[in-house]
Structure 1
Amino acid sequence: MKHDHFIVQSPATPAQQLLLLFHGVGDNPVSMGQIGSLFAPQFPDALIVSIGGAEPCGPPPGRQWFSVQGVTEENRQSRIDTIMPTFIETVRYWQKQSGVSPQATALIGFSQGAIMSLESIKAESGLASRVIAFNGRYATLPQSATTATTIHLIHGGEDRVIDLAWAVSAQEALLQAGGDVTLDIVEDLGHAIDDRSMQFALERLRYTVPKHYFDEALSGSTPKDDDIIELL
């Protein structure tokens, strides 16, 4: 399938993990690729790809997944639902191209890219094993969740674009629904990613043990070696 993208890292041997990055409104995959490059040293066997939004936004090379012109709490979900099949198809395309399973796939998004990543797991459970959501939110809070995907919310404490309250509400909703979620608040940070945000993201991907491992241990089954944390 044709779509705007930038390959940040392609290992010489078959990829063991897949990290897909999704930018904010009006940004582009090359710019978001700079964030992707910060993951590369910790994940040398990962295919890391920065994906562009599905449609143009503002001056080239700006992209977006859905327009925020006239967006409201009432129509945001429908705009996301309209483009979501394309988003999911894009994730599936790179999983097929890389030969990497959903269990070793991480979706990493900022702002609108984080919204799409979170909503994709709501739309299709098990699409990826991890989501890193920088300064994102759900359009509508999830009513159900599984531990197939571990959600890592990382949010600026002073975000005036997507208020921290949205991340707190997301964490509460996921926990209530039985999901697996972490929330890290970056003090004095607005709507941005800084070194502290990245440190949280790297530590979460490398060291947070998914809840489903504990559930499997309690049930007497043996955890599979296919989560991204197991492949470092």
Structure 2
Amino acid sequence: MSERDLQGIELLPAALPVRQLFILLHGGGGTPADMLPLADTLSAVFPQAAFLLPEGLSEFDGHDSGRQWFSLDGLSDDNRAARVAAAMPALHALIRQAQDRLKVMQPDTALVGFSQGAIMALEYGIAHDGGVGRVLAFSGRFTTLPDRAPEFTTLHVLHGKDDPIIPVEHAYAAYERLMQCQGDATLDVASPVGHELHAALVDRAVHRLQTCIPLRTWKNALNGA
């Protein structure tokens, strides 16, 4: 079942209860519909999941259509972090409201983003550790490399090697920093792939969701042993 309104697109499983929640964030200048192919792929693998595809918080700079999570007008390395931080409370409220309404726990929630949406998702994973169980970031980056890694959220970084918009070096740097901080993260790079939700990266995301056991689970098992 689906609901389309000014807040985006919502896809619910045919049979209740909802077991997992996926929140998919489109890129700058995009729309929730851009994320429908990814939602369709994931729903075939997770038939008991709900999918929320929200609209960006404001109209896209300089265009009559499309939305954005934060303004790109005059964006620089000096102001990117502040703009993302300003948008974070609204995203956090959206996630919490969806979890409460659909009765889905934080570990059973995945925050998925593309491009600007991936920036929001990665930063959310740091700012709200445990607010979601997983972050899947396609063609994104950190505003600045974090000085700590989340303990209760697994980060999956997915990137095209030939991305001309957000160079793949950002993905390598993010993964290296997360490893230095003993974080729970994976990295998948596909070539020749640019700035896109490419099928090769989507396949890797599905593989990670199906097979990657969170590091915290292994640590708990070892401690128990």
**Normalising by the residue count of structure 1, what TM-score does the alignment of the two structures yield?**
0.91
Hey, what does 2:87 align to over in structure 1?
Answer: 83
Among candidates 105, 112, 119, match of residue 108 of structure 1: 112
**CA shift for structure 1 position 102:** 0.6
Q: Percent identity?
A: 37
Contact 1:122 1:142 in 2 (8 A): yes
Alpha-carbon separation, structure 1, partners of 2:96 and 2:67: 20
Deviation at 1:146, TM superposition (A): 3.0
Q: Which residue of 2 aligns with 1:134?
A: 138
Instruction: Give how far 1:191 is off.
Output: 0.4
Number of the residue aligned with 1:146: 150
2:161 to 157, 160, 175: 157
- Cα deviation, 1:75-112, whole Å, max 9, x if unaligned, reads 00000111110011111111111100111000111000
**How far does the alpha carbon of each residue in 1:43-77 deviate from its partner, in whole angstroms, 9 at most, with x for none?**
00001111110111154541111011110001000
* Deviation (angstroms), 1:137: 0.5
Cα deviation code 1:182-216 (max 9, x no counterpart) = 00001111101111011001000111111111100
Which of these residues, 117, 122, 133, is aligned with residue 118 of structure 1?
A: 122
Q: Does 1:42 align with 2:80?
A: no
Aligned residue in 2 for 1:189: 193
Question: In 2, Cα distance between the equivalents of 1:34 and 1:200?
Answer: 15
Asked if 2 retains the 8 angstrom alpha-carbon contact of 1:11 and 1:47, the reply is no
- Number of aligned pairs? 220
| Secondary structure of residue in 2 paired with 1:106 | strand
CA contact (8 A) 2:151 2:183 kept: yes
Q: CA deviation at 1:9?
A: 3.5
Gapped runs of 5+ residues in structure 1?
A: 222-232
| 1:8–1:33 contact (8 Å) kept in structure 2 | no
Letter in 2 for 1:121: G
Give the secondary structure class of the aligned counterpart of 2:75: coil
Alignment check: 8 A CA contact 2:158 2:189 kept:
yes
Q: Does 1:98 align with 2:102?
A: yes
The equivalent residue for 2:23 is 20
Q: What is the CA-CA distance between 1:156 and the residue it aligns to? A: 0.1
Q: What's the CA shift for 1:175?
A: 1.0
Between 66-75 and 52-61, the greater mean CA deviation after superposition: 52-61
Q: Structure 2: give runs of 5+ residues left out of the alignment.
A: none
Partner of 1:199: 203
The aligned residue for residue 4 of structure 1 is 7
Tell me, in whole angstroms, the C-alpha distance in 1 between the residues paired with 2:169 and 2:37. 28
Equivalent position amino acid for 1:31 in 2: D
User: In structure 1, how many angstroms separate the alpha carbons of the residues matched to 2:33 and 2:65?
Assistant: 9
CA RMSD of aligned residues (A): 1.4
Letter in 1 for 2:76: T
Q: Structure 2: how far apart are the matches of 1:11 and 1:49?
A: 15
SS at match of 1:179: coil
- Cα pair 1:33 1:49 within 8 Å, conserved: no
Q: Report the secondary structure of 2:52's partner residue.
A: strand
> Are the counterparts in 1 of residues 149 and 178 from structure 2 also a CA contact under 8 Å?
yes
